[in-house]
Structure 1
Amino acid sequence: MNVRSARIAGLGHYVPEHRIENSVLEQDFGLPAGWIARRTGIKARRWAAPEQALTDIAVEAASSALARAQPEANDIGLVLLATSTPDHLLPPSAPLLAHRLGLTCGAIDLTGACSGFVYALLFADGFVKTTGKSVLIVAANILSRRINKADTTSAVLFADAAAAMVLAPSSRDDAGLLGSSVMSDGSLYDMIAIKAGGTRNPDISAAELEDRVIRIKDGKVVFEKAVKLMTLCSEQALGRAGIKASQIDHFIPHQANARIFDLVAENLDIDPCRTLRSIEEFGNSSAATIPLTLSLAAQDGHLADGQLLLMSAVGAGFTGGAIVFRMAMD
């Protein structure tokens, strides 16, 4: 095959069975009914069972994507695992994931926080085009074990989920990744952080609770920066693709907060009906939200050949990115 682009050959996802409705958290925190949904767009989220590890939920999503991607799934050359909650600090979890799937190809973790999937898709596209082999991208997080359940800022937002995509070679030159943009702003490095466990503060046992869980330093700053960075990355990606926002069939933003991505869509002048959403039922599972939303859309028959997708995300660090992608079925 003369490889000209990369196409989505299969999508899959897994969400834990344990569903936590807002009413439970609002009662625990003494919040008025509807408080969480009004501020975030979230009505429920899934939390993993105590015995479930990151690779357990990743295997479920990956197996589903691989099953849908036959025969391309037989030629996987690389596994990319976008996660902020690996099984261990060392070794990376991707080789174990690949092994459990019966793969011996290259495998590596990406720690891009909520923008991890966008970066993984960008890297995977280059690998497919240069090697002619398929890439399995998995984004998975168990964030329920990294939240302070006494802190409304994090406990009402974060969720557990895994989603996967098989990116395969295509001979079409009118499809695949058409434009991209990635940015960062390290001046806001500590706005969202788990401070314990790295080389600056390695002793987790001695750390205060707030250093062992996700801490959002200033929600207002995070909100404003997220809107700005997602908008800028999206504008650049659209410009590089030579695509107008009005041509986008589906806008798939990182599902951090509905008010954030609704403002981004408004800034880009994208009709709200074109935004794909999973936040209401599944909350914010960080890097997993974009592929989860895509997998749900595919399951419902909403993705079709030739459609233009705009994916955009921002995450801790700050890191941001956006991709314009044209769907191809062959």
Structure 2
Amino acid sequence: MPSADGLCWAGFGHYLPERVVTNAEIEADLGLAPGWILARTGISARHYASPGQALSDLAVPAGAMALQNAGLEVREIGLLLLATSTPDHLLPPTAPLVAHRLGLSCGAVDIAGACSGFLHALALAAGHARLTGQPVLVIAANILSRRIDPKDASTRALFADAAGAVVVAPCADPGRGPLSVVLGSDGGLYDEILIERGGSRTPDVPGTPIEARMQMRNGRAVFARAVECMATSSAEALRRAGLHPYDLGFWMPHQANGRILDQVAGRLGLGNTPRLGTLSLHGNSSAATIPLALSCHHAEGGLLDNGPVLLSAFGAGTIWGAMAWQN
């Protein structure tokens, strides 16, 4: 194993369920004008899991693809981190099951970081890889189609199902890996995006139907906070890394909403920086959007060595962060 002086993204993987749901289907169902969703979100389609698929069924093929792409044996992986808001069950965590199905015997834990879960998991993976010299498999996956209110256009237009994975591995080049990390949270906006039922605050009551649906209680407040937090944390990550927008090879934001991303880009002066993402085709799969976009870019023959990559994310809780990474 190389010295842990540097870190690299050694392998990428992703999985998209077969069913594609277009805007036309949702707009017809909700009585919306054609083009309403695209104009407000930048999304034209999204994937939904089949009724027989659980979260682990998306995570496993994405992880297997990343391991194969990295050319690593399962015995070499030192840790599996699974970023998800929709685990197979509330208990036990899903990561050990995913690890078992992949043939791993390492540590495995779920990371419940909402839309910024992958970024937080990536920061933890970098620390573990440097401490132990072992590669870490980071998977982010969600099945959000079962958590939206089918009559609520604000959530149904956005959210989707997908999985993405990245292998973080030690390398000999000390210039590679995370250049800076900025993480933040504000529990004062805790309940602005909420799945209320099923936790200890509002447990399921025997004999009553379970309505574990996502609620976006103040979309305008969430929009404004997402722009502010993604922009300020990204600017700080660039400052700490000694970078300017023109130094970046790519900007890789969480694929939340096209209008949010445009405003963040304007605040940061990223108008001429290439933006990686799959928002139009795959929608918002929460934590999965960043590794999904990275893997799709790699699968299409794209490179990530033409300059640092800036990662930005904001999620329910609220939690957010940014990272500059040199691969």
Same fold (TM over 0.5): yes
Tell me which moved more, 61-70 or 238-247. 238-247
> What does 1:288-307 align with in structure 2 at a 5 Å threshold?
288-307=288-307
1:318 is matched with 318
The change in CA–CA distance for 1:321 and 1:2 in structure 2 (over 3 A counts) is: same
2:213 is matched with 213
The change in CA–CA distance for 1:244 and 1:73 in structure 2 (over 3 A counts) is: farther
SS across alignment from 1:212: coil
> What does 1:121-136 align with in structure 2 at a 5 Å threshold?
121-136=122-137
Deviation at 1:153, TM superposition (A): 1.1
SS across alignment from 2:197: coil
1:31 is matched with 32
What amino acid is aligned across from residue 291 of structure 2 in structure 1?
Answer: P
The change in CA–CA distance for 1:40 and 1:135 in structure 2 (over 3 A counts) is: same
Tell me which moved more, 54-63 or 70-79. 70-79
Q: Which segments of 5 or more consecutive residues in structure 1 lack a partner in the other structure?
A: none
Q: Which segments of 5 or more consecutive residues in structure 2 lack a partner in the other structure?
A: none
Count of matched residue positions in the alignment of Structure 1 and Structure 2:
326
2:82 is matched with 81
1:251 is matched with 251
What amino acid is aligned across from residue 302 of structure 2 in structure 1?
Answer: H
1:165 is matched with 166
Deviation at 1:72, TM superposition (A): 6.5
The change in CA–CA distance for 1:20 and 1:204 in structure 2 (over 3 A counts) is: farther
Deviation at 1:59, TM superposition (A): 0.4
> What does 1:51-130 align with in structure 2 at a 5 Å threshold?
51-71=52-72, 74-130=75-131
In structure 1, distance between residues paired with 2:205 and 2:148: 15
What amino acid is aligned across from residue 38 of structure 1 in structure 2?
Answer: A
What RMSD, in angstroms, separates the aligned Cα atoms of the two structures? 1.4
Q: Give the TM-score normalised by the residue count of structure 1.
A: 0.96
Q: Give the TM-score normalised by the residue count of structure 2.
A: 0.97
Deviation at 1:325, TM superposition (A): 0.4
What amino acid is aligned across from residue 228 of structure 1 in structure 2?
Answer: E
Tell me which moved more, 265-274 or 242-251. 265-274
In structure 2, distance between residues paired with 1:207 and 1:232: 44
In structure 1, distance between residues paired with 2:285 and 2:178: 24
What amino acid is aligned across from residue 79 of structure 2 in structure 1?
Answer: L
What amino acid is aligned across from residue 133 of structure 2 in structure 1?
Answer: G
2:13 is matched with 12
Deviation at 1:308, TM superposition (A): 1.0
Mapped pair 1:42 → 2:43: yes
Deviation at 1:31, TM superposition (A): 0.5
In structure 1, distance between residues paired with 2:96 and 2:188: 33
Deviation at 1:302, TM superposition (A): 2.1
In structure 2, distance between residues paired with 1:40 and 1:272: 21
1:198 is matched with 199
Tell me which moved more, 241-250 or 284-293. 241-250
Deviations 1:70-114 (A, max 9, x none): 136541000000000000000000000000000110000000000
Deviation at 1:190, TM superposition (A): 0.5
Deviation at 1:277, TM superposition (A): 2.1
SS across alignment from 1:322: strand
Deviation at 1:305, TM superposition (A): 2.7
In structure 2, distance between residues paired with 1:76 and 1:158: 31
Partners of 1:204 and 1:212 within 8 A in 2: no
In structure 2, distance between residues paired with 1:213 and 1:78: 32
